[in-house]
Every structure is written in structure tokens, then in C-alpha cells.
Structure 1
Amino acid sequence: METNEKMKSFDEIVALIDNARNNAIKKANEELIMLYWNVGQYISQKVAAAEWGDSIVDELADFIKSNYPKIKGFNRRRLYRMKQFYETYKDNEFVSPLVTQISWTNHLTILSKTKSMEEKELRLLKK
């Protein structure tokens, strides 16, 4: 096999590796976004049903920190963001299927920099 042919074959293998890595990152992102959606949904529904009071997010954050110190990223602020994320998009049939297609960082930017649902939809579509 000639050197050029070998190099082309090797490049094809590297492309397969890169493609698989990118797919794995996308799947991991989808799972994280769905986790944040589900946590936000759970909190939102408990508060709405008056099963939990307004201070529950603080208590939950403290509980996770105290009892599960290896679990990171579920502090008070992030839990509120998960609740806001769910409540923002839960009734929007157009947006709901798209929420797993962008990163959590992009979602936080959209939530913090937009006011109307129309703005949020436009930003979500642009990502």
C-alpha cells in the first residue's frame, strides 16, 4: 500500500473516531439537559401542589451538599435555574423537543438575556 493510500485510510479512521466522540458528547449533553429538566419539573410540581414551600430549593441544595458531597452542580442557584428552565418551556410544544439540542450554558444565556418567549424561541433556534 502506498504512503498516500495509507494516510488516506488513517485519516478515515481518525474521522470515525472524531465522529464517535462528537456523538458521545451530544448524547451526554442530551442526558444532562433531560436530568435538569426532570429535576426542575419535580421541584416545580411539588411547589405548585403546595407539598413543598418556597424554601425547599435551599433545603434541597443543603441536603445534597451535606449528604452527597461528590454530587456537584446542584447548589441553590442551579436548582432554581433548573426549575426556571422547566417552567419556561414546559407548555411550549414548539420548543420542548429542541431543549436537548443545545448546551446547558446556552440555555442559561437564553434564560438570563431574554424577556419574552418569542426572544427565547428565536435564540434557541439560532443555536
Structure 2
Amino acid sequence: MNKRKPIDYTLMYTALDSLVQTELPEVELYFEIGRAVCARPEKGAAVMAAEYLQANYPGDRGFSPRNLRRMREFYRAYADTPELRALALKLGWTQNVAILESCEGGQERAWYL
């Protein structure tokens, strides 16, 4: 049986609150949420972020655990390549998810972008 360890996510929750309240476009917001989740070393940070966002922003969609894990991977894929990140931020979220999930490496992603 999986048990949650008592971990303090207060700093991550504060960062998520400030991000959601900004007027960032959707894909940029998701990139920044991915950055906030990646800042946490715990395996369940994406799930905890999803639960927090769903509970505190019930009118907003797109905060499922699966989507938060995608945001984390989106951040990891483009954090070190600003030129590819700029191209990815011009696409919609669905297109970015398709590229992330179907491409195996950075060169293939770059070609599709």
C-alpha cells in the first residue's frame, strides 16, 4: 500500500498560486508550472500540484495529474534550449503534447517545431 510521506509543499503551492494569477498565455503558464514542479525532488510533486490546483482553481481545466506530468516533461525538454522553447511557445498545448509524446529526441522535436 502506498502511503504519502508528510512533505511540506508550501513553497511550491505559493509559486503555483502566483503563476495561475498571472496573465501568461496557456503554453507559457504550463512551462512555468513545469518549472515549479521540477524544482521539487519528490516523485509525487506533480500529483500534489495537480491536487492543489484542482482544489483551489476548480473552474480552470487542464490540471490533471497526467497533464502536470506533461508540463514537467515540457519544461525538461526545452529548459536548456531557448531557441526550441521559443518555437514551442508559439504552438498550442495539444500540438506540443503530440510532439513530446511522439518524438524520441531533441533533434526530432526540433524538426517538428
Give the TM-score normalised by the residue count of structure 2: 0.72
1:1-127 correspondence runs (5 A):
31-47=25-41, 53-124=42-113
Deviations 1:33-76 (A, max 9, x none): 110110001111223xxxxx111211221222233322221110
Bigger radius of gyration: 1
Deviates more, 1:98-107 or 1:58-67: 58-67
Which residue number in structure 1 is paired with residue 21 of structure 2?
none
State, as a whole percentage, how many aligned pairs show the same letter.
Answer: 27
Cα deviation for residue 122 of structure 1 reads: 0.2
State the AA in 2 paired with 1:74: F
Which structure shows the higher helix fraction? Answer: 1
Cα deviation for residue 96 of structure 1 reads: 1.9
Deviations 1:20-39 (A, max 9, x none): xxxxxxxxxx7111101100
Extract unaligned runs of 5+ from structure 2. Answer: 1-23
CA distance in 1, matches of 2:56, 2:29: 19
Extract unaligned runs of 5+ from structure 1. Answer: 1-29, 48-52
State the AA in 1 paired with 2:79: K
CA distance in 1, matches of 2:48, 2:86: 31
